[in-house]
């Protein structure tokens, strides 16, 4: 995944430096950025829910019988 990601970035950079600002290169850049943002959201969301679940279990264990 990261190999093609780097290749795409280098290709976009070459197109921009060469003055060939095509719609395809801009679209590829937007797709790459959105993919990175979505994957980061999933990662951080997973960490946050894991920490919240751990905190909830700790408080429920310490609260004693209901």
Average pLDDT, the chain: 71
pTM: 0.39
Output the pLDDT for position 64.
52
Residue of 10 and 1 predicted with greater confidence:
10
Cα angle, residue 12 at apex, residues 5 and 36 outer, rounded to 5° = 35
Cα angle, residue 29 at apex, residues 43 and 38 outer, rounded to 5° = 15
Give residue 23's pLDDT band: very low, low, confident or very high (50, 70, 90): low
């Amino acid at each position: 995944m990261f190999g093609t990601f780097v290749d795409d970035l280098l290709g976009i950079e070459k197109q921009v430096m060469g003055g060939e600002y095509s719609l395809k290169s801009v679209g590829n850049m937007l797709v790459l950025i959105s993919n990175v943002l979505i994957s980061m959201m999933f990662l951080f969301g997973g960490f946050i829910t894991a920490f919240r679940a751990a905190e909830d279990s700790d408080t429920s264990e310490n609260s004693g019988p209901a």
